[in-house]
Structure 1
Amino acid sequence: MHDIRAIRENPAAFDAALARRGDAPVSSDLLSLDEARRGKILAAETAQAEQNKASKEVGAAKGRGDEAEFERLRALVAAKKAEIAEMNDAAKALDAQLTDKLARIPNLPANDVPDGADEADNVEVNRWGTPRSFEFTPREHFELEGVAPSMDFETAAKISGSRFVLLSGAVARIHRALAQFMLDTHVDVNGLTETNTPVLVKSDAMYGTDKLPKFGEDSYQTTDGNWLVPTSEVPLTYIAAGEVIDERNLPRRYTAHTLCFRSEAGSAGRDTSGMLRQHQFEKVEMVSVTLPAESDNEQKRMLRCAEDLLERLGIPYRTVILCTGDMGFGARRTYDIEAWLPGQDAYREISSVSTTGDFQARRMNARFKPADGGKPQFVHTLNGSGLAVGRCLIAVLENGQQADGSVDLPQVLAPYLGGKTKLGADGTLI
C-alpha cells in the first residue's frame, strides 16, 4: 500500500517510478480523489462547528423567550446534523475508492533494480557450481527408470485433475527428506524460528500481504470466504499485523514448511510435463520482519540462506536480480535463484527472495516502537523460498541421474534416508 501523503508531496516521482515498471501514470486520478475526500472531511468539520455553535445558542434563545429564533436554531441544528452525516458518508465512500485504487498499484522498485521489460532483461549477479558433463543424454526427472513408478500423474489426475502428482515409495521419502533438511538448516545454522502455520487464512491476511484484491484468481477460495495459502509468506508475515513491536525485539525471522496452493490461472500450457508447475506443492518459506535501516542487509542474508542450501546439496545455480518488468506486484527488489536442470538444459527458478519495504506493513498496520521513544513507524517485511521442495526434488533427481536411470543422492540427505545415498533403477533406496 502506498502513502497518499508521499504521492501528494511528489506526484511526478511516483509516476516516474511506476513508469519504470511499465505502468501508466496514476497520481492525477489519485490526487483528485484525495482532494475530493479531504473536501468532504473539511465540509463535515465546518458543519460540525456550525452545529456546535447553534446548539449553544438554542438554550439562550429559549431562555429569552425568543421562540422564532429558537425554532430557527433548532432547525439549523437538525440541518447541520444531516449535512454532517451526508458529508461523512461521502468522505467514507471516497476514502474507500482511494484505498481500493491504492491497493491495486504495485510497489515502487528500488533505485538499484535494473530497468527492463521481462525476464530477458534480468541481470545475473552470482553463479555457483559447474553443470555436470554427461556421457549420455540427460533426461527429465519423470523419465528416469528409478523415478517414474513413484511419480504418478495419471492417478493424481484421476483423484484431483491436471497439475497434481502422487509421490510414493523412495521418491516420496526423498521429497520429505529435502524439506526436513531445509528446515533443520534454517533453524540450526541460520537461526530462524520454525513455525507451524495454518494453510487456511482469512481475506484480511491475504489483503495484508498484497495477494488481494488484484490476484484473487490466482488462489483458491473456500465456500466460507477463507483462502488456501499460495505460500506461507501469508500467515508468517501476518503474525505482525496490527502490532507495535519493540525495536529491541527485531528482527523476527521465521521459517515454515507448508503445502501451498495456486490456480496457475495465467500459466495455461506452460510446464505441463512433470511436476515443475503444480496446483499443490510444498515449500519451505523464510520471512523476516525488520527495521527499515536493516532491510537491505536482511535481504542479502536471506539470499545467502537459500543459496547455501543448494551448495550443500551440490546443485549448480545462478542468481539474478529481477528487472522492473519482471518483479512481483509487492516486491521492491527481488533476487531469483535458478537451479540447473540438465533434463531441460536450462536454469529454472527454485527460489525468489524479495523485500517489500513497508508496502505490506502499511496494508496490515505493522509497526515498531523506536528504542528512543519516538513515534511508531512501519516495519519492513521480506520473504523468500528456502526452498521450493518439489523443484528441489527435480534438481536433485536430474543432476544425480545415471545412465541406467538410477540417481546418486546428495550426502547431506543420508541422515534423513537411513544412511542411503542412492535411488536405484528399481525405485528403491540403496
Structure 2
Amino acid sequence: MLQLQVIRDNREEITKALNKRKIDADSLLNNVLQLDEKRRDTQTKLDATLAESNKLSKEIGGLFKSGKAAEATILKEKTGALKEESKQLGDDLNSIAEELQNLLYQIPNVPHDSVPTGTSEDDNEEIFKEGTIPVLDSDALPHWELAKKYDIIDFELGVKIAGAGFPVYKGKGARLQRALISYFLDKNTAAGYTEIQVPHLVNEASGYGTGQLPDKEGQMYHITADDLYLIPTAEVPVTNIFRDVIANKDEFPICYTGYTPCFRREAGSYGAHVRGLNRLHQFDKVEIVRVEHPENSYAALDGMVEHVKDILRELNLPYRVLRLCSGDLGFTAALTYDFEVFSTAQDRWLEISSVSNFEAYQANRLKLRFKDENGKSQLAHTLNGSALALPRVLAGILENCQTANGIKIPEVLVPYCGFDTID
C-alpha cells in the first residue's frame, strides 16, 4: 500500500509510473487526496471539539466550587451538545478512514524504473538464458505420460479423492518430491536463510498484510466457518511474522526459508498447457523471504536471482530469466524476475519461480518499521522468491532427463532420493 505522504509529495511521478500499468492513476489519486483532506479536516474539527469540551468541563468544576451552580448548569448543557457533536465527528472520521483505506487498497505498487512497458507476458523482457536444451528421441513423452508409464504420479486417483489439480505422488515420484524439498531447503539455509515452519492457514489480516486480499480473493480457498484462508504461498504466513513489528536494523537482512503446500483456485482452463503438473490447485513450494533496509533491497534482489540461478545450474536444467513488463507485474510488486525452465517434450517454457521486490508496499500494510540512525521510524523493504516451486521443476526433470532406459535423476539429487534412475 502506498503511503499517503508519498502520494502527496510525489503525485505527478506516481501517476506517470502507474500509467505504465494502464491505470487511470490521476483520477484514483485525486479521489484519495480529496478524501484524505476531508479526513484531516474532520480530525481537526474533532480535536477542537474535544478540546473545547475539556476546557468547559474544567470551568464547570470551578463554578460549582465557587457556588455558581446556575452558570455551571448552563455550561453542562453546552458540554452535552459538544459530546454529541464529537461522537458524530468520531463516527464520520471512522467512516472516512475506512473509505480511504479501501481506496488505497485499490492502488497497485509503483513499478520500478527498469520495468518495461507492456500489456501481457508477450512483452516480458528476457535478460538471461543458460543451459543446453537436450535433443530427445522422436518418441519422447510429456511428463504426464511418463508419470503413467513409470507409475510415479496418479492424476486420476487425485481426481477421485479431491478433483482435478490434486495429484497423488507414488513410490519414486513421492521420494523425488521429498528430495527436491530437502535439497531446496539445504541450499537456502546454506545461503543464510533460517528455516521456519509456518501455519498453512492464515487469517484475513494476514491476507491484507501481504496483498492477497482484496486483490486475489477469488483465487484463495476460504474456510468461511472460521474465516481463515488456505495459503497460496508461504510468502503470506512468513512475511506476516513481521506484521506490527519494529525490526532492529542491526539484524538486517532478516532471511527466512520455508516449505509449505500451496493452494490456489485456478480458473477452469483447458488444453495441453494446463495438463499434468502444469497447473494445480495444490502443489509444494519452498519460499525465500527477506526483510531489508531500503538502501540494500535491490542488491538483495540481485542476490536472490543469482541464488535461484545456482540451484538450476546444479539441477542441470535449461532455463531463462525474464524481467516482467508492467502489464504482467503483480499487484504488490515493484520489480519481478520470472524463471522459466524449458520443457523439451512440450517444446515450451514453464514458469518455476518469481523473485520480487515489494519495496515498502507490503511493509506499509504490515506496519513493519525500523528505527533509523536518528531514531525515526522508517518502513522496511520486503522481498520474496520461489526457491523453488516443485511441479514444473519436476516436469522439467522428467521430460528433459528421459532416456531409452528410464529417467536419469540429476546428480545433485541422488544423495537425497537414494536412486539415480526412474525405470
Normalised by the size of structure 2, how large is the TM-score?
Answer: 0.95
Q: How does 1:193-204 map to 2 (within 5 A)?
A: 193-204=194-205
State the shift of 1:178 in Å: 1.2
Which residue in the other structure is 2:348 paired with?
A: 346
Cα distance in structure 2, aligned partners of 1:358 and 1:298: 14
Cα distance in structure 2, aligned partners of 1:210 and 1:158: 34
1:139, 1:342 within 8 Å by CA — same for their partners in 2? no
State the shift of 1:288 in Å: 0.6
Q: How does 1:8-407 map to 2 (within 5 A)?
A: 8-25=8-25, 26-62=28-64, 68-144=70-146, 147=149, 149-188=151-190, 190-222=191-223, 223-265=225-267, 268-269=269-270, 271-370=273-372, 372-403=373-404, 406-407=406-407
The share of aligned pairs that are identical, in percent, is 38
Q: Which runs of 5+ in 2 are unaligned?
A: none
The SS at the match of 1:144 is: helix
State the shift of 1:319 in Å: 0.2
State the shift of 1:61 in Å: 4.3
State the shift of 1:173 in Å: 1.1
Cα distance in structure 2, aligned partners of 1:65 and 1:174: 89
2:293, 2:381 within 8 Å by CA — same for their partners in 1? yes
Cα distance in structure 2, aligned partners of 1:269 and 1:145: 19
What letter corresponds to residue 379 of structure 1 in structure 2? A
State the shift of 1:145 in Å: 6.8
- Taking a change above 3 Å as real, the CA distance of residues 314 and 377 of structure 1, as seen in their structure-2 partners, is same
Cα distance in structure 2, aligned partners of 1:252 and 1:219: 27
Q: What do the CA deviations read for 1:289-348 (whole angstroms, capped 9, x no partner)?
A: 111001001111111111111110100000010001101111010000000101221111
Cα distance in structure 1, aligned partners of 2:18 and 2:132: 38
State the shift of 1:137 in Å: 4.7
State the shift of 1:258 in Å: 1.0
Which residue in the other structure is 2:420 paired with?
A: 421
2:46, 2:86 within 8 Å by CA — same for their partners in 1? yes
Root-mean-square deviation over aligned CA pairs: 1.7
1:147, 1:171 within 8 Å by CA — same for their partners in 2? no
Cα distance in structure 2, aligned partners of 1:160 and 1:353: 31
- Taking a change above 3 Å as real, the CA distance of residues 145 and 162 of structure 1, as seen in their structure-2 partners, is closer
State the shift of 1:208 in Å: 0.7
State the shift of 1:12 in Å: 2.4
The SS at the match of 2:402 is: coil
State the shift of 1:146 in Å: 6.8
2:338, 2:355 within 8 Å by CA — same for their partners in 1? yes
Cα distance in structure 2, aligned partners of 1:145 and 1:332: 38
Which residue in the other structure is 1:5 paired with?
A: 5
What letter corresponds to residue 408 of structure 1 in structure 2? K
Cα distance in structure 2, aligned partners of 1:363 and 1:341: 38
Q: What do the CA deviations read for 1:92-119 (whole angstroms, capped 9, x no partner)?
A: 1100111111122211101111111111
How many residues matched?
419
1:241, 1:366 within 8 Å by CA — same for their partners in 2? yes
Q: Which runs of 5+ in 1 are unaligned?
A: 425-430
Which residue in the other structure is 1:428 paired with?
A: none
What letter corresponds to residue 422 of structure 1 in structure 2? T
Mean CA deviation greater in 407-416 or 55-64: 55-64
Q: What do the CA deviations read for 1:174-199 (whole angstroms, capped 9, x no partner)?
A: 121111111111112x1211111111
The SS at the match of 1:162 is: coil
